Amino acid sequence: MNNGDLQAQLDNLIRIGTALSSERNLDVLLEMIVDESRRLTRADGGTLYIVSDDRRFLEWKIVQNDTMDTRIGGTSSVEVDEDIYKPVPLVSEGQMNFSLVSAYVANTGKTVNIPDVYEAEGYDFSGTRVYDQATGYRSKSMLVAALRNHEDDIIGVLQLLNAKDPDTDAVISFSDTFETFITSLASQAAVGITNVQLIRDLQNLFDAFIETTATAIDEKSPYTAGHVRRVAGLTMMIAEEMNRESDGIWGQVHFTPDELNELRIAAWMHDVGKMTTPEYVVDKATKLETIYDRIGTVRVRYEVFRRDVEIAALKQKLALLENGNSDDFSEIDQRRKENLKVLEEEVAFLEQHNMGVEFMEDRDIERIQAIAQQTYEMDGENHPRLTEDEVYNLSIRKGTLTEEERQVINNHAAVSIKMLSQLPFSKKLRFVPEYAGGHHEKLNGQGYPRGLTADQLPLQARILAVADIFEALTASDRPYRKPMLLSQALKIIGFMVKDGELDSKIVDQVKGSGLLMAYAKEELTPEQIDIA
């Protein structure tokens, strides 16, 4: 090799090293290592092995051979079949495996350069001979180098086969210069692979932390179990459906893989602020519920009222008997029955409106106040039948939350923004706090926590808002209410669109594509799906 060729190869080596250090897709990187190594050495074939996580095997990752028209693994459509390409054991009968050349290199870190494998001693090439006999191929020269990373760990093995003369195309030995080049390239490749694996492992750790956090939030309340997972799934279904559109209003919309990942993380983290929301508020299934449902206390109180009625009737009868009037107790019994009936009706009324399933009319609130104005005696003092706090809670017109409790619930969105804004997200994830914190905003500016308007809400936040509302309406695992029919959920969403709360285009896409039914069949009960 003359000085000009040597310089060209050195330039190639530098170029390849730069490319290897910048590639972040592991499949592309592994394939590039073999492609460039073969191009550099004019090898007909090449194999790349990676040491298994338990360091007991070499796993086949890339298999290439130009003569046999073979490209397996990497970005090719052909995956490595472990039944054919069985992992190479690094340990045999308790000892390091030195019989197979790839295992020898992995165990020792030494580079092996063999002019002709049929004449080589010390290694088992029986498998190679069987392959050659079956295919008519002739394996000859071989160069095997360890992939050693910056921590001096061997993470893989690069095996090149049959170097070719550039002029005659005849199979020749790998030169010492090629051996030096490949040893150097293998080390650069190992560093590149390690970097990609570290980035991948960090991403996996980050994803696992996010999903674990979301699971913890869901598990905090039996009423929200699975909510975050379903919202994240539906959000990504909507975004990916938009990406598939080639024309229409979504024809110009295309989320990049990084943007999809950013939206996915925002969806998983959208309720992170609920970590600070008290359980008694999150779980408030009835109006009187705090740590427990205080309707039980009201029932006990009314049981005392019933007994007071019975005792009063008995005292009246006793007084008549003492005065010698024992002929007729009918008036006392009638009054007792009437009083007991009033108590039964009152407690039934209170139990009904404690559930929060019906809108409270003015007359209902007036009746609660009238009940509270009645008193009973205890310890020589008069007390109202209902406390001020009970009256306040029972008078909630819609749902089970007081205005103060609703503000506590609503505050989770602001807390989500605050918490997420304090995290050092990378440039590719910089909008996670904005998307996650905007899932309760409304296009008409009447949402929370910031009251943003349509022109201030990015598409990603609008998608997340639709997914959040749809999941909340259709969730089948809320123990405080029956699962809502799909048709009813769509009717409510329609009202929200009409009121300027949700993006009509996103809602139309969900309804008009197969996305709606795909989600319904996956997450709803069969009884909920009442439309085709």
Instruction: Transcribe 115-177 into DSSP letters.
Output: S-TTT--SS--HHHHHHHHHH------EEEEEEE-TTS-EEEEEEEEEEE-TTT--EEPPPHH
Name the packing angle between helices 459-474 and 227-244 (round to 10°).
130
Tokens 């996103």 belong to 506
- The Cα 274–Cα 215 span in angstroms is 12
Residue 225: the pLDDT is 65
- If asked whether residues 263 and 319 sit together in one domain, one would say no
Residue 275: the pLDDT is 82
Residue 69: the pLDDT is 95
State CA 456 to chain mean position distance: 26
Q: Provide the CB-side half-sphere exposure for 102 (13 A, CA).
A: 25
- If asked whether residues 362 and 259 sit together in one domain, one would say no
Residue 294: the pLDDT is 92
For residue 141, count CB atoms less than 10 angstroms from its CB and return exposed for 0-12, middle for 13-18, buried for 19 or more: buried
- Length of the chain counted residue by residue: 532
- If asked whether residues 267 and 387 sit together in one domain, one would say no
**Residue 392 lies inside a defined structural domain of this protein:** yes
Count of the separate structural domains present in the chain: 3
- If asked whether residues 87 and 26 sit together in one domain, one would say yes
**Residue 112 lies inside a defined structural domain of this protein:** yes
Stated as kind and residue range, the H or E segment containing 520 is helix 515-523
- If asked whether residues 63 and 153 sit together in one domain, one would say yes
The CATH number of residue 44's host domain is: 3.30.450.40
- If asked whether residues 187 and 253 sit together in one domain, one would say no
- The Cα 53–Cα 141 span in angstroms is 30
Q: Which residues of the chain have pLDDT under 50?
A: none
Residue 373: the pLDDT is 93
Residue 302: the pLDDT is 93
The CATH number of residue 436's host domain is: 1.10.3210.10
Task: Show which of 146, 170, 199 is a domain's final residue.
Answer: 199
Task: Show which of 384, 400, 416 is a domain's final residue.
Answer: 400
**Residue 176 lies inside a defined structural domain of this protein:** yes
Q: Answer yes or no: are the C-beta atoms of 282 and 273 closer than 8 Å.
A: no
User: Coil, strand or helix: which one is 349?
Assistant: helix
- If asked whether residues 523 and 446 sit together in one domain, one would say yes
User: Between vectors from CA 419 to CA 413 and to CA 421, what angle results, nearest 5°?
Assistant: 100
- The Cα 34–Cα 29 span in angstroms is 9
Tokens found for residue 245: 């559109």
**Residue 15 lies inside a defined structural domain of this protein:** yes
- The Cα 178–Cα 162 span in angstroms is 13
Rg (CA), the chain: 37
Task: Show which of 169, 199, 229 is a domain's final residue.
Answer: 199
The backbone torsions φ and ψ at residue 255, rounded to the nearest 5 degrees and listed phi first, read -80, 130
pTM, 2 dp: 0.69
- The Cα 223–Cα 220 span in angstroms is 9
Question: Distances from the Cα of 328 to the Cαs of 320, 323, 331, in angstroms?
Answer: 9, 13, 8
- If asked whether residues 91 and 188 sit together in one domain, one would say yes
- The Cα 525–Cα 475 span in angstroms is 9
- If asked whether residues 224 and 345 sit together in one domain, one would say no
- If asked whether residues 35 and 141 sit together in one domain, one would say yes
**Residue 371 lies inside a defined structural domain of this protein:** yes
**Residue 413 lies inside a defined structural domain of this protein:** no
Instruction: Dihedral sign for Cα 42, 47, 50, 51, please.
Output: negative
Q: Answer yes or no: are the C-beta atoms of 193 and 74 closer than 8 Å.
A: no
**Residue 320 lies inside a defined structural domain of this protein:** yes
- If asked whether residues 39 and 141 sit together in one domain, one would say yes
For 199-249, where are the E strands, in sequence order? none
| Closest CA relative to residue 172, chosen from 271, 285, 313, 43 | 43
State CA 87 to chain mean position distance: 33
The backbone torsions φ and ψ at residue 62, rounded to the nearest 5 degrees and listed phi first, read -135, 135
Domain span at residue 189 reads 3-199
Residue 291: the pLDDT is 81
- If asked whether residues 141 and 258 sit together in one domain, one would say no
User: Coil, strand or helix: which one is 111?
Assistant: coil
